[in-house]
Amino acid sequence: MINLPVLVLNQSCEPLTICRAKRAVVLIYQGKAEMLENGLGFIHTVSASFELPSVIRLAFMVKRPYRQKKLTRYEIFNRDKYTCQYCGKETRQLTLDHIIPRYRGGQHTWENVVSACVLCNRRKAGRTPQEAGMKLIRKPAYPSDQLFFSIPYHYRQTREEWHKYLLQ
């Protein structure tokens, strides 16, 4: 229960990061944050009970530099919402697929890499989608969200109390 995720907002209510409930309770107890949403229940000690927050806001402004997103498996899967870009199957068993294969001069860029299920990746093999008779569901591009960090897609689906604080 103390390891459940908590959304941390800047003083201006923009998302900063995700921390564990234990850390969030400590920040609230020290006066460094305030609880905005209680969605997790309570933690009991010998002498007191504390509400476990779901969303907290820091009491001070954190200035953060702009960082470009790195091209990683996690970011590609998050951009594509854990969905195969050829058949539309939503699964955790995904692979990365280069639309134009690397051995044919395709680059490892946001515009050339998509999520694909194992079956579609095998079917496409070392060909282009046109040669394999396959069509992309969505044209790949650099992720559009302007958040400093990526909130994992499964949290966006399951944590309903976070929706009003996230840019959709």
Residues 41 and 91 in one domain: no
This prediction has a pTM of 0.61
Q: In this structure, is residue 24 part of a structural domain?
A: yes
Residue 121 sits in which domain range? 73-132
Q: In this structure, is residue 143 part of a structural domain?
A: no
Q: In this structure, is residue 162 part of a structural domain?
A: no
The tens place of each residue's pLDDT in the chain, 168 residues long, gives 678 889 999 998 888 888 998 899 999 999 999 999 887 788 888 888 888 899 999 999 988 777 778 899 988 998 898 999 999 999 989 999 999 999 999 999 999 999 999 999 999 999 999 999 999 999 999 886 555 455 666 676 667 777 787 764
* Rounded-to-integer distance, Cα 55 and Cα 42, Å: 14
Quote the number of domains for the chain: 2
Distance, first Cα to last Cα, the chain: 27
Residues 15 and 60 in one domain: yes
pLDDT tens for 102-135 read 999 999 999 999 999 999 999 999 999 999 999 9
Residues 84 and 124 in one domain: yes
Cβ count within 10 A of residue 59: 13
Structure tokens at 10: 């800047």
Residues 11 and 40 in one domain: yes
* CA 143 vs CA 3, 93, 119, 140: distances in Å: 29, 21, 25, 9
